[in-house]
Amino acid sequence: MAIIYTENDEYHVRKPYSLEPDVTNKLFEPYSLGDISLSNRVVMAPLTRSRAVEGLVPNPLAALYYGQRATAGLIITEATQVSEMAQGYQNTPGLYTAEQIAGWRKVTDAVHDAGGKIFVQLWHVGRVSHSDLLGGKAPVAPSAIKAETMSFVNNSFVPTSMPRALELSEIPDVIESFRSTARNAIEAGFDGVEVHGANGYLLDQFSKDGSNHRTDAYGGSIENRARLLLDVTKAVVDEIGAGRTGIRLSPVTPANGISDSNPQPLFNYITEQLDGLKLAYLHVIEGATGGPRDNAPFDFGALRSRFHGTYIANNGYDLALADKALAANDADLVAFGRAFIANPDLVARLKSGASLTDLDQATLYGGGEKGYTDYPFMTSDA
């Protein structure tokens, strides 16, 4: 197991034991992703933990938390704000100040010291926010339509605030915030970035007609509604390169009150356009609830066939389902979410068939090391 130790109040992770590729399961084979090489095909999905400290700097414990999980082929961090107006929940980190960059550098150093690779997920929540988090300002959105969901603020979940529609003149600043934060990510030592285009946040809000009622160049047609997501992704690619840029989509996930009247042609078009950018990967949440590709009316295979780069599947996968998806060429990598919270050595547990530790729901958001860095590793005879 990885050995965690402290030195001068900094957290370090010694390189974990070697995991030799298992020839019977592609999940544990090395993989070339864009500009980087992965030790296996297991991805740690982004997981919000709401533990940032003053200035929305990553918690000093974050270096230990991510370092413990560095046996994943790729770690994708918790969603990280691109600007002050991008925040939707209490104590979620940013990457737009010098202090935040320095805080993330400790995290990337810990992961790299442990032999891992790490991308940061860049995030603008749009309407999924509360004015108390935004200095009294209203959240921004494609249209002035309230999100029927909750924000975590003042240590409790409360209904989101009524948003205002972004002016056309403000959209270039949104695009620039993603571009500049991608540049900050490389400065902070990240191997790349994931654009958060999923789960009912700003880019997803623009894409879907349930939340976008605009009549300008960013509303109406599929091409117009997809424009901001594509403009942002192009800006990130221009800044750091396609081989270090990924994106996450959720075509039918109803998270945060989001919906679209006809998602198949919308996401077929988006995927075709993203394919032309030669991104490092397309990360897809394959369904609304439950297990993989559970939403039968939507054809996720149509996205897989339209994107010729790396395809990451996510949504309720376990070892057997991941093995099946990889064997059928339905995915190249498989992302695991909550299992990584309570199982820092998830790769080893999956590989050995060991049981998984259950997560503590009460410690998911906020707090200190309890439920964050104190989950057990397997014993040597597990």
The secondary structure of residue 34, as a DSSP letter, is T
As given in the structure block, the two tokens for residue 39 are 């030790």
Distances (CA, A) of 11 to 93, 188, 308: 19, 17, 39
The DSSP symbol for 61 reads T
The answer to whether 269 is a known catalytic residue is no
**Which two tokens mark 9?**
């109040």
Active-site pick, 201, 311, 365, 375: 201
Asked whether 146 and 163 are in contact (CB, 8 A), the reply is: yes
Neighbouring CB atoms inside 10 A of 291's CB total 12
CA 215, distance to chain mean position in Å, is 30
HSE-up (13 A, CA, CB side) for residue 338? 10
User: Which residues lie below 8 Å from residue 276, measured CB to CB, with a gap of 6+?
Assistant: none
Task: Report CA 34 to chain centroid distance, whole Å.
Answer: 17
Adjacent-strand bridge partners of 179: none
Residue with token string 């503590």: 360
> Which residues, in sequence order, are bridge partners of residue 312?
283, 333
Q: Catalytic residues, which ones?
A: 201
